[in-house]
Structure 1
Amino acid sequence: YLQYGSYPVVNPQNETFPPQFHVHRQYLHHVTLQTDSEPVHLNISGPLAGDWFAVAFVAEKSNRIVQKGLHLQCKAWLTSSLRLQIAEEVLSLSPNQPLSQQISIMQYYRFYTPRDTWSATITISSCAVLPIASDVQCPLILVVKPLALPSVEQDLNLQDQSVVNCTHTVSGEACSTVVTPSAENWNYILVTVENATVEFSIHVEFTVCQDDSKKLLLTPEEATETPQLSSSSYSQLVVKPTPVFSFINTSCWKNVPLVRHTMVENFAFRYEPLSSDNSSSTSSALNITTDETTLFKFDIYPIQDIGGTLEINIVLPSTINITMNNITIAACLEYTMRPRLSANGSCGSDISNNVNTSSEDHRVLTMLVPYPEAGPWYLALTPRCYFQENEGNENEVVDVRCYSNTTHINLNIKSSSCIQDGCGDHGKCYRYFSGGFIFSTCVCSSGWRGWGCTDETNAISDFQLLLGVLLLTLSNIFFIPAIVLSVYRHYYTEALIYFVTMFFSTFYHACDAEMYTFCIMRLSVLQFCDFYSAILAFWVTLIVMADLPATLQSLTHMAGAVGIALGVEYDRTGLWVFLVPSGVGLIILTISWISHCRYQRACYPRKRTWLLCLLPGVINAAVGLVIFAFLQTDENYKYVHSAWHAAMALSVLFLLPERRESKGRDRSLNTSNCHVEELNDLNATFVYDGHQFLLPSSP
């Protein structure tokens, strides 16, 4: 997605936006690329000069929770390049100075509008087709666009382009149009003709408003003052103030100056109207006239202002007298130029709404614009008075003349992170850095989605959230039998590890919950301890099954504790941090058991142990590993992960060796060159150096 002036506002999953959000982007372009190495071209005709921003992402549709290292990650490499084609000849027009031309295809023109320009009139005169014929009309088409070159490749009926067809102009008459230009900027004209050579004269005339709210006709001498680049990073052009000239009868909109207040936080600023008593104080309260439109202009600074959400609040106080008539105010917000209102007062912008005194709820209007484009913005407020008659179940609204010449309003224009520095009850507001830029965004929880976490299409109920927390935490009680059995069999170190695993797994999942959250310490610390103790539990179980000498067993415990801590800190979600300790433990186990078999000259452990203990324990652990690595999704996580807790804890009951003797040896897994097997209540077999002796089982 490619956007002029600010970050793109995208919604690839068609999630609903928060109420009062205005997300129309006039200069937004996008393309979709496949991982087939085929280049994709995006051609933008007549791009606006200034900063452009792009966002690229991979649309991941799978809801599976996969183990890192077991599944291939989709990595896409994107290479981009930019090529510009500059228009060679763009002729500059001076006000009231006709320029004679002769074209056969097309020609670009431009004119610079000074501050407070109300309108520009473009006129084509003396149009004739060569060779001159009296019965041929003027075959010219004019396309006018502010800030950028008009485009013939795009639809000519774009909102920011004005099209004039001079083909039907009567011979000898001028073809003209009145447009609303972008003040203190360059505006462009494209004149096209097909299959003919035409000579004509083109000139432009400005109407400029002054502080006394009158329109002024700008003379050529004042309008052609040399523009100078300002220090603004978006290359705004400015001219010197224009002196007062002869008045034109119609009135301009009243222009109320705004004062900016910049906060310390990112994206935080506000604009307030300057007090009408000519003092330097500001206030959100002001009076506006009811018989004309009031205009406000404010600027969004590049980079520092575009990462938040622009918020415009208009309030009609309850103190307004509505005994004679109700009041409604139409708000029209436009980027780069003054809003264009139709004859009936309707707004030509995509960002518009109204506020009225019909009820308390309707007295407040909030307009939100995410990631506003840098540059000038204009807000037009048009009051209208009406009388509402209640007849039965029907309300009849009649427009009336306003009883008062002014009305009182409160106006606040401000910016904040996310949506009023928050994301509702189901999300948190975060600030991110990417590509050297900073922006704010909401991170939603509990299945809520959308720009402000207001889309409840996939929302999870409170019961399901509570059930998930209880399953993920209480499923760890399956470790209690393993802890008790370890203590009973004198495996105190292993019992401590199993208890630590149960403890941190319980409180990690309690802290990681989306709604019913309880944290005894930072989540990152709990996560480390959970991953570390879980892998360490695997390690100590394998070591105790190996039945090593006491000194060697102590050494392997400490080596495993240090190595696992290093691996978990390096990459706690990686596959190798689990496979390496498990693999090394299995190697130690295998070597130890082979050594036992060699010295005892018999199968080790016993067949009964293989069938009744080892086989069920391994199957139980394998099933837990399979569901953990391959079956988890976002929807079944609370069930599958809880089953993983139970499977791992119960497998310890089967894999833990029999009771350890006081010397630290296991009676059934003894590594000495003799051992006793009970055959029945009366006899036993004594094995010594490979020889068996049948002995009575008596004192």
Structure 2
Amino acid sequence: MPTPKPTGGLFLTDYSTCSPRKLSPFRSFASTELFHFHVPEDTFLAVWNLIIFKEQGGTFGDHCPDQSVTVYFRSGAPPVINPLHTHFPGDTAVPGVFSLTLSWTLPNRTSGIFNVSSPLPGDWFLAAHLPQAHGHISVKGLQDECQYLLQPQLIVRRLLDVAVLVPGRPSEQTLSAHNRSALYKVFVPSFTYRVSAQLVCVGGRGASTCPLTLRLRPKAPPLHNSSSVACGGASVCQLELALPPWGHWVYVRVETPSRGPGRTVRFQLCVWLQGQKPCTCPSHLACADIVTGKS
């Protein structure tokens, strides 16, 4: 995935790792190894470093056969995998997952890198397994068993100074010639059903006055395929996000074209929220009575 650059602010690098675990041939989901990581808010890059090595009898397994290792990634819940290519029942919604199959580069050790730009914050799960065993029979005790172990590591880079927008309050901003994008965020309280962002270029007229693109994305910084609008010749442009997730941030990115010479652009940015509070019942009535028309 293309990696967005930080918007000129400070960022912090965090590191976490899991203990090595022995992998097994795939028979069912119970035979997979599941790893759990946490990605903090405002992360613009997550890098998983996958270290796999062989062991045999307490030493390096230089003479163990190579077996491919498949690793699956999913945000929010354990990945739904189907290595045997079976068919799900009709009308079954199967969530998408990222997957990576690693081959061996050294006799007893290999590694792989998996990058996610602007990942969703919160829980991330990795599931890993060896290929399905095809009826191979071996007598235990004649030689030490070959073991294949996986140790995943996570490195995240997160921004420390993302500007917070106050709904309904216009904010004067400037994009300098050497900084082609700026990132902001607004918090979404309960019962909000729409987030709107409006950008107004300041100064000048004509088609070249507002060479800016406005992007929105809930929970994580926008990507190249996030909801967007190119202001172009219009001095005012607006973008809306319907049904945003409550209790999370919505991120707003303003950017100039990646090609061509950069120049300083001044603009005004304003966001506002539309919501409806739940109905409240008079203290002497029950809500159920009002809904059903009872007195």
Normalised TM-score (structure 2) = 0.62
* 1:208 to 2:280 alignment: no
Residues in 2 aligned to 1:35 and 1:42: alpha-carbon distance in whole angstroms:
16
Give the superposition deviation at 1:91.
0.8
Give the superposition deviation at 1:278.
4.9
Give the superposition deviation at 1:143.
1.9
Question: What residue in structure 2 maps to residue 140 of structure 1?
Answer: 212
CA deviations 1:482-513 (Å, max 9, x no partner) are xxxxxxxxxxxxxxxxxxxxxxxxxxxxxxxx
Question: What residue in structure 1 maps to residue 74 of structure 2?
Answer: 3
Question: What residue in structure 2 maps to residue 122 of structure 1?
Answer: 197
CA deviations 1:290-338 (Å, max 9, x no partner) are xxxxxxxxxxxxxxxxxxxxxxxxxxxxxxxxxxxxxxxxxxxxxxxxx
Distance change in 2, residues 1:99/1:79 (3 Å): same
Residues in 1 aligned to 2:206 and 2:91: alpha-carbon distance in whole angstroms:
57
* 1:188 to 2:260 alignment: no
Structure 2: which amino acid aligns with 1:105? R
Residues in 1 aligned to 2:198 and 2:205: alpha-carbon distance in whole angstroms:
21
**Contact 1:89-1:108 at 8 Å conserved across structures:** no
Question: What residue in structure 2 maps to residue 256 of structure 1?
Answer: none
Question: What residue in structure 1 maps to residue 50 of structure 2?
Answer: none
Residues in 1 aligned to 2:164 and 2:222: alpha-carbon distance in whole angstroms:
15
Give the superposition deviation at 1:135.
4.7
Residues in 1 aligned to 2:289 and 2:155: alpha-carbon distance in whole angstroms:
51
Question: What residue in structure 1 maps to residue 174 of structure 2?
Answer: 102
Alignment of 1:237-248 (within 5 A): none
CA deviations 1:219-254 (Å, max 9, x no partner) are xxxxxxxxxxxxxxxxxxxxxxxxxxxxxxxxxxxx
CA deviations 1:400-429 (Å, max 9, x no partner) are xxxxxxxxxxxxxxxxxxxxxxxxxxxxxx
Give the superposition deviation at 1:99.
0.9
Residues in 2 aligned to 1:70 and 1:18: alpha-carbon distance in whole angstroms:
44
Give the superposition deviation at 1:276.
7.0
Question: What residue in structure 2 maps to residue 162 of structure 1?
Answer: 227
Residues in 1 aligned to 2:254 and 2:143: alpha-carbon distance in whole angstroms:
59
The structure having more radius of gyration, on CA atoms, is 1
**Contact 2:181-2:256 at 8 Å conserved across structures:** yes
Question: What residue in structure 1 maps to residue 237 of structure 2?
Answer: 175
Question: What residue in structure 1 maps to residue 125 of structure 2?
Answer: 53
Residues in 1 aligned to 2:199 and 2:264: alpha-carbon distance in whole angstroms:
15
Give the superposition deviation at 1:176.
0.2
Matched-pair identity in % = 26
Distance change in 2, residues 1:70/1:15 (3 Å): farther
Give the superposition deviation at 1:77.
2.0
More helix by share: 1
**Contact 1:4-1:53 at 8 Å conserved across structures:** yes
Structure 1: which amino acid aligns with 2:256? V
Distance change in 2, residues 1:70/1:53 (3 Å): same
Structure 2: which amino acid aligns with 1:62? H
Partner of 2:86: helix, strand, or coil? coil
Question: What residue in structure 2 maps to residue 429 of structure 1?
Answer: none
Structure 2: which amino acid aligns with 1:119? R
Residues in 1 aligned to 2:83 and 2:183: alpha-carbon distance in whole angstroms:
37
**Contact 1:35-1:76 at 8 Å conserved across structures:** no
**Contact 2:215-2:222 at 8 Å conserved across structures:** yes
Distance change in 2, residues 1:126/1:137 (3 Å): closer
Q: 2:94 aligns with which of 7, 23, 35?
A: 23
Residues in 1 aligned to 2:89 and 2:251: alpha-carbon distance in whole angstroms:
37
Residues in 1 aligned to 2:271 and 2:202: alpha-carbon distance in whole angstroms:
16
Partner of 1:205: helix, strand, or coil? strand
Structure 2: which amino acid aligns with 1:177? L
Question: What residue in structure 2 maps to residue 477 of structure 1?
Answer: none
Question: What residue in structure 1 maps to residue 65 of structure 2?
Answer: none
Residues in 2 aligned to 1:150 and 1:74: alpha-carbon distance in whole angstroms:
45
Residues in 1 aligned to 2:269 and 2:287: alpha-carbon distance in whole angstroms:
43
Give the superposition deviation at 1:71.
7.8
Alignment of 1:442-453 (within 5 A): none
**Contact 2:214-2:252 at 8 Å conserved across structures:** yes
Residues in 2 aligned to 1:210 and 1:93: alpha-carbon distance in whole angstroms:
22
**Contact 1:117-1:207 at 8 Å conserved across structures:** yes
CA deviations 1:133-157 (Å, max 9, x no partner) are 64514111122111111234xxx1x
Alignment of 1:549-564 (within 5 A): none
Question: What residue in structure 1 maps to residue 138 of structure 2?
Answer: 66
Give the superposition deviation at 1:72.
7.6
* 1:33 to 2:97 alignment: no
| Larger RCO (CA under 8 A, 6+ residues apart) | 2
Partner of 2:163: helix, strand, or coil? strand
Give the superposition deviation at 1:10.
0.8
Residues in 1 aligned to 2:115 and 2:246: alpha-carbon distance in whole angstroms:
28
Give the superposition deviation at 1:277.
2.3
More strand by share: 2
Normalised TM-score (structure 1) = 0.27
Residues in 1 aligned to 2:181 and 2:146: alpha-carbon distance in whole angstroms:
48
Distance change in 2, residues 1:73/1:17 (3 Å): farther
CA deviations 1:338-365 (Å, max 9, x no partner) are xxxxxxxxxxxxxxxxxxxxxxxxxxxx
**Contact 1:111-1:187 at 8 Å conserved across structures:** yes
Ranges of 4+ aligned residues in structure 1 off by more than 2 Å: 18-21, 35-39, 60-75, 132-135, 194-197, 210-213, 275-279
Alpha-carbon RMSD: 2.8
Question: What residue in structure 1 maps to residue 84 of structure 2?
Answer: 13
Alignment of 1:587-626 (within 5 A): none
Structure 2: which amino acid aligns with 1:115? S
Q: 1:80 aligns with which of 148, 152, 157?
A: 152
Distance change in 2, residues 1:42/1:175 (3 Å): same
Question: What residue in structure 2 maps to residue 277 of structure 1?
Answer: 288
Distance change in 2, residues 1:13/1:137 (3 Å): farther
CA deviations 1:599-640 (Å, max 9, x no partner) are xxxxxxxxxxxxxxxxxxxxxxxxxxxxxxxxxxxxxxxxxx
CA deviations 1:85-120 (Å, max 9, x no partner) are 112431111111111111141111100111110101
Alignment of 1:471-490 (within 5 A): none
Residues in 1 aligned to 2:180 and 2:207: alpha-carbon distance in whole angstroms:
21
